[in-house]
Amino acid sequence: MSERKGLVIVNTGDGKGKTTAALGVIFRAWGRGMKVCMIQFLKHEGGSWGEVRAAEKLGIDWIKTGDGFTWTSRDMDETVAKARHGWQAAQEKITQGRYDLLVLDEFTYLMSLKWIDSAETVDWLKANKPAALHLIITGRDAPPELIDYADLVTSMDKIKHPYDVGILAQPGVEF
């Protein structure tokens, strides 16, 4: 067994920190000079998030495929089409072999909402993911097939959240 292995990491659960921990790995990998690509599903195209600004400054590839979260979406068909197109874009990036680390942010929703098939998606990854590529997938409700396939799965669970006591999301910390 080789020491170097591309890990499949899943950050799931209902709490904060799923995307944030993926950003932490990006920070760490960038520190080691690794080639990194972030592919964001569902998140708003127009957002000027702290992480997007950081990625721009650092020259990290950052692809936004979505038009916002489904529950704020005015045109559901377009949301689904964009998400599926995003998965095709991700498949290209995965097979290209240009990256050491790829993050598929909020990707679980495509499977949990049945826009793409979980078993087919995992089978595709098993057949096509380069052995050395680290892959991080975030989002709630990670399907069992994905958990089965992954090397590292963490559930981020809420114990206490500031929204509960009426504190708004703070720039630079939560987005």
- What are the residues binding a copy of itself (CB under 8 A)? 1, 3-7, 9-13, 15-17, 19-32, 34, 49-55, 57, 100-101, 134, 147, 150-162, 165-168, 170-173, 175
Distances (CA, A) of 22 to 2, 31, 116, 154, 161: 24, 14, 22, 11, 20
Task: Find the shortest distance in angstroms from Cβ 62 to a copy of itself.
Answer: 11
**Closer CB to a copy of itself, 7 or 81, in the complex:** 7
Half-sphere exposure of 36 (CA within 13 A, CB side): 22
At residue 104, the 3 state secondary structure works out as: strand
Task: Find the shortest distance in angstroms from Cβ 51 to a copy of itself.
Answer: 5
Task: Find the shortest distance in angstroms from Cβ 109 to a copy of itself.
Answer: 18
Q: What is the dihedral of CA 141, 146, 151, 152, to 10 degrees?
A: -10
**Closer CB to a copy of itself, 62 or 82, in the complex:** 62
**Closer CB to a copy of itself, 51 or 67, in the complex:** 51
Task: Find the shortest distance in angstroms from Cβ 116 to a copy of itself.
Answer: 22
**Closer CB to a copy of itself, 70 or 154, in the complex:** 154
- Per-residue burial over 48-77, b if 16 or more Cβ lie within 10 Å, else e, is ebebbeebeeeebebebbbbbeeeebeeee
**How far is the C-alpha of 108 from the C-alpha of 155, rounded, in Å?**
13
Which residues lie below 8 Å from residue 71, measured CB to CB, with a gap of 6+? none
**Closer CB to a copy of itself, 85 or 97, in the complex:** 97
Chain position carrying tokens 């005015």 = 74
Task: Find the shortest distance in angstroms from Cβ 55 to a copy of itself.
Answer: 7
